[in-house]
Chains A and B, each alone.
Chain A
Amino acid sequence: MTPQDRSRRGAAGGSDAERLSKRLHDLSERIRTETAEHAPPKGPGAGDHGSRYGVAIRLASEFVAAVLVGAGLGWLLDRLAGTSPFGLIILLLLGFGAGILNMARASRRMANSEAAAAAKASPPIDDDDDEDE
C-alpha cells in the first residue's frame, strides 16, 4: 500500500513525495515515543524485575532464609549430636555462604529475564525503523 502510494505521489510532484515521507517519518517518530511512554507502566506489574521494591524484598528474603536455615540446621545438629557450639557456628557461616549464593543466583535470574524481555520488546521497533527509513 505504502510504496504504491509513494510512487503515485512521486509522479505528481517531488515536493509532495518529500512531504509525505516527512509525514511518515514524523508518524513513526510519534509512534516510537508513544510506545516508549506506554511501555514502562506495563513493566512493573508484568515482570518480577519491574518493581524495584519487589527486587529488594526478594533478594533480602533469599539471604535471610539461607542464614535462618543454616542456623536452624546447626542448632538441630548440636541438639542431636551434642557438639554444642560448633555445629551452630559452622552451619551459620555456611548459611551466610548459601545466602550469598542465593542472592547471586536470584539477581542473575532477574538480569536474564530482564535481558530476555528487552530483547523481546525491541525487535518490532527496530523492524519498523528499517521499513520506514
Chain B
Amino acid sequence: MTDPLHQFEIHVIAPLFSIFGVQFNFTNAALFMLVIVAIICALLYAAFANPELVPSRLQSVGEVWYEFVHNMVRQVMGEDGMKFFPLVFSIFSFVLVANMLGMFPYFFTVTSHVIITAALAVFVILLVITVGIMRHGLGWFRLFAPHGVPIAILPFISAIEVISFLSRPVSLGLRLFGNMLAGHIVLKVFAGFVVSLSALGITGIFGAIFPLGMAVGLTALEFLVAFLQAFVFAILTCVYLNDALHPGH
C-alpha cells in the first residue's frame, strides 16, 4: 500500500540562496503558492476583462465570489470595516483556491502544512493587535478587562481573556491545517484499501466496493470542507478584526 503521508512531502525544486547558514529553497509548496496566486489573478482578470451588463458565465462567478466576501465583511465589521475588504478577499481566495487545488490527484495541498496556515493566522492576529493599538491606543487593552467585573476576580478574568485571545491564532491555524490534513489522509487510506483489496482476487474485488463508495463520498465531503474552511477562516478574520475596530462589543 502506498504511504498516505507521501503526498505531503516537500521537495526542493531549485536551491535559491543561503543567509547566515540557513538555506532557502524553491520547493513544491512555493511552486503551488505561485500557481494559486496565478490562478486567482487569471480567473479574476478573465472574469472582469470585458465586463458586460448581462454577465457571461465567468463574470457571474467573479461577481458571486466578490459579493460573497463583500457581504460577509459588511455584515461582520460594518461600513468602516470595508477597508479590510481587499485583505479578507485575498485571504479567502488564497485559502479557497489552495484547498480546491489540493483536491486534484497528485497535487500538493498547501494548506495541509501547519507552517502555512500558522503563518496566515499569526499574520491576522498581529494585524488585529496593530490595528487595535493604532485605532484605540493603549485603551484597546481594555478588551482583556471586561466591564463591570469585581476587582477581586479581575486578575483571573484577565488571564483567561488573554489566553482566550492568544488561542485564536492557534485555533485558526490548526483548524484549517487539521481539516485538510485529516481529510486527505482518510481519502488516501480508503483509496489505498481499494487497490490492495482488489489485488486479492475475486472476493477482494467485491470487498473493495465498500471503500470505493467511501472514497467517492469522502471526495464530495472534502469539497464541502475545502469551501467551508476557507469561509470559516475568512469570517473569523473578519470577527477578530472587528474586535480591533470595535473592542467594546
Beta-carbon contacts of A46-80 to B below 8 Å, as 1s and 0s?
Answer: 00100101100110011011101110010000000
Q: How far is the CA of A62 from the CA of B174 in the complex (A)?
A: 10
A94 within 8 A of B: yes
Interface size class of A (residues with CB under 8 A): 20 to 34
| Chain B interface main SS type | helix
**Contact between B228 and A66 (Cβ–Cβ < 8 Å)?**
no
Most buried by A among B167, B179, B225, B228: B167
Q: Give the CA-CA distance A94 to B144 in the complex, in Å.
A: 14
Of the candidates B167, B227, B231, the one whose C-beta lies within 8 Å of that of A98 is B167
- A residues 96-115 near B (Cβ < 8 Å) are 97-99, 101-102, 105, 109
> Given the known A-B contacts A44-B224, A54-B228, A94-B156, are A61 and B175 also in contact in the complex, defined by CB atoms under 8 Å?
yes
Number of interface residues of B (CB under 8 A): 24
| Closest beta carbon of chain A to B76's beta carbon, Å | 9
Cβ of A45 within 8 Å of any chain B Cβ, yes or no, is yes
Contact of B179 with A57 in the complex, beta carbons under 8 Å? yes
Contact of A58 among B166, B168, B227, B232 (CB under 8 A): B232
**Does chain B have a CB within 8 A of A88?**
no
Most chain B C-beta atoms within 10 Å of own C-beta, residue among A58, A61, A70, A99 = A61
Q: For residue B101, which residues in chain A have a CB less than 8 angstroms away from its CB? A: none
**Cβ of B130 under 8 Å from chain A:** no
Is the contact region of chain A dominated by helix, strand, or loop, or is it mixed? helix
B178–A61 CB distance below 8 A = yes
Segment of B6-14, B103-111, B157-165 in the binding face? B157-165
Smallest CB separation, A55 vs chain B (Å)? 10
A51 and B224 contact, CB distance less than 8 A: yes
19 extra interface residue pairs, beta carbon distance < 8 Å, beyond A57-B179, A66-B171: A45-B227, A48-B228, A51-B228, A54-B232, A62-B167, A65-B170, A66-B164, A69-B167, A70-B163, A70-B167, A73-B163, A97-B160, A97-B163, A98-B161, A98-B167, A99-B167, A101-B161, A109-B239, A116-B75
Chain A interface residues toward B at CB < 8 A: 44-45, 48, 51, 53-54, 57-58, 61-62, 64-66, 68-70, 73, 91, 94-95, 97-99, 101-102, 105, 109, 116
